[in-house]
């Protein structure tokens, strides 16, 4: 993340400045130049405190508000499937949640059967609708309310269902993705969860 890189550079600058300036501030204190000693001491310490404080502040807010810096739906689509959405693909909604040992991604989009074939090729297997309902129904209550409001596959009446176990190699305990697709409307629901 670029912002944390900036704070890491500031932290290193603070350490580099602290090495010569803290002894100088001690000498100034011995010479009874308290204001000068305090200013010289606080400069590198302030840089260190600012860089650490801002890093903790940003990560704390990301954790509290379940925030990912790149929440653009097209970016989530690209990160998930490995290619950018084409002109026939319209991303309607996207949600992703990251934790230390888990990740969940849900995407609702409209696309063509060719794009679905590109997504499911080599990773997904066709499954009956009962498998989808069993896998998704067990996890629906874990989703935030605003996501449950738009992630409504039963409403769209999909007729094609796909399951990937594992979806990718990022998680070892649970790593499954489900896709349901209505080939008349072109509406797709994708749900992936990973857990270590």
* Portion of the chain with pLDDT greater than 70, in percent: 89
pLDDT one-digit tens code per residue, 76-90: 888 888 888 999 999
Q: Where are the alpha helices (DSSP H) in 65-163?
A: 73-81, 113-120, 129-137, 145-150, 153-156
Query: Average pLDDT over the chain, rounded to whole?
Result: 83
Number of domains in the chain: 2
Same-domain pairing of 90 and 48: no
As a whole number of angstroms, the distance between CA 89 and CA 102 comes to 28
Instruction: Give the residue numbers spanning the domain of 50.
Output: 2-64
The domain boundary residue, chosen from 64, 95, 117: 64
Same-domain pairing of 56 and 97: no
Instruction: Kindly indicate the confidence band of residue 140, based on its pLDDT and cuts at 50, 70 and 90.
Output: low
Same-domain pairing of 167 and 84: yes
Same-domain pairing of 77 and 115: yes
What's the rounded mean pLDDT across residues 130-145?
A: 74
If one counts every other C-beta atom within 10 angstroms of the C-beta of residue 151, the result is: 20
Same-domain pairing of 136 and 114: yes
Q: Which long-range contacts (CB under 8 A, 24 or more apart) does 22-27 make?
A: none
As a whole number of angstroms, the distance between CA 195 and CA 174 comes to 5
What's the rounded mean pLDDT across residues 139-152?
A: 79
Same-domain pairing of 45 and 142: no
Same-domain pairing of 97 and 151: yes
Higher pLDDT, 7 or 1: 7
Same-domain pairing of 14 and 60: yes
Same-domain pairing of 92 and 21: no
**Which residues make Cβ contacts (< 8 Å) with residue 153, sequence separation at least 6?**
132, 136, 180, 189
Instruction: Kindly indicate the confidence band of residue 63, based on its pLDDT and cuts at 50, 70 and 90.
Output: low
Q: What is the pLDDT of residue 69?
A: 47
Same-domain pairing of 82 and 119: yes
Instruction: Report the SS3 class of residue 188.
Output: strand
Same-domain pairing of 46 and 82: no
Burial class of residue 147, CB neighbours in 10 A (0-12, 13-18, 19+)? middle
Statement: residue 67 has pLDDT above 60 = no
This model's pTM is above 0.85: no
Instruction: Kindly indicate the confidence band of residue 31, based on its pLDDT and cuts at 50, 70 and 90.
Output: confident
Q: What's the token pair of residue 99?
A: 């934790």
Same-domain pairing of 133 and 183: yes
As a whole number of angstroms, the distance between CA 196 and CA 186 comes to 33
């Amino acid at each position: 993340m670029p912002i944390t890189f900036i704070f890491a550079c500031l932290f290193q600058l603070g350490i580099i400045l602290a090495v010569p300036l803290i002894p100088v501030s001690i000498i100034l204190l011995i010479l009874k130049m308290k204001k000068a000693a305090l200013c010289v001491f606080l400069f590198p310490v302030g840089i260190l405190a600012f860089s650490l404080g801002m890093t903790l502040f940003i990560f704390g807010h990301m954790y509290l508000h379940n925030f990912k810096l790149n929440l653009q739906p097209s970016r989530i689509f690209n990160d998930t499937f490995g290619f950018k959405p084409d002109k026939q693909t319209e991303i309607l909604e996207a949600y992703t949640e990251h934790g230390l040992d888990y990740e969940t991604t849900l995407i609702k989009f409209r696309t063509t059967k060719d794009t679905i074939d590109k997504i499911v090729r080599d990773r997904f297997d066709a499954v009956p609708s009962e498998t989808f309902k069993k896998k998704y129904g067990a996890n629906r209550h874990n989703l935030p309310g605003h996501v449950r409001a738009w992630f409504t596959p039963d409403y769209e009446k999909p007729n094609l269902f796909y399951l990937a176990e594992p979806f990718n190699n990022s998680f070892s305990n649970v790593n499954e993705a489900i896709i349901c697709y209505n080939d008349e409307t072109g509406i797709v629901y994708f749900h992936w969860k990973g857990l270590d």
